[in-house]
Amino acid sequence: MKQKWYPIFQSVPADEFTDRQEIMDYLLRWAANTPRDITLSTAVIGQRRLGKTAVMEQVYNRLFWEQEVVVPIYFTFEACPITSTEFAFAYYTNFLRQYVAFRRKDHLLARGTDRDVELRDLTEMAEPLPCPHPCHCGGRTGETGTDRLVPPPFPAEEGPGNSAA
């Protein structure tokens, strides 16, 4: 069996990670239900140093390797002043990097430490990835049969500014 490396750093190694199976099982079940649109938002809240980050790292790495449907995205908020434009660029680049890494099962790309990939390159890498879930794009695919990371248009009754009553 091929060795599976962790796409994101784990502050606590998996073999030393204990007493969190219940919350991890809950989060993995929650993630499994997201493609069917039967989930509500959830949050992991607690005091500092209780293991919230370690739980999320473990869940991310398991989702990355153990399933093909839910794209895990992990973003660390730094405690430093940045502009909204800098934040948006960092978040989108991180999102796209992890999306491409997940679809390609490329743990090094997910980490972002071993490859300095520009946003333009990530966009090009994302374009040829086929959409494995036609329900996400309304059964439509692009002219080349690819998922172009463009969401389907809102139905008229559900678009922004319209209320579906």
The pLDDT tens digits for 98-155 are: 999 999 999 888 887 545 788 888 888 887 666 666 555 554 444 333 343 433 443 4
Query: What is the sign, positive or negative, of the torsion defined by CA atoms of 109, 112, 114, 119?
Result: positive
Residue span of the structural domain in which 66 resides:
1-72
Residue type, 129: L
Domain check: are 102 and 59 in the same one? no
Q: Hey, what are 37's tokens? A: 């649109």
Is 165 within a domain? no
For the ranges 14-28, 74-88, 96-110, which has the lowest average pLDDT?
14-28
Q: State the total domains in the chain.
A: 2
| Cβ-based burial of 14 (10 A; exposed 0-12, middle 13-18, buried ≥19) | exposed
Residue 126's nearest CA partner among 108, 107, 109 is 109
Tell me the pTM.
Answer: 0.70
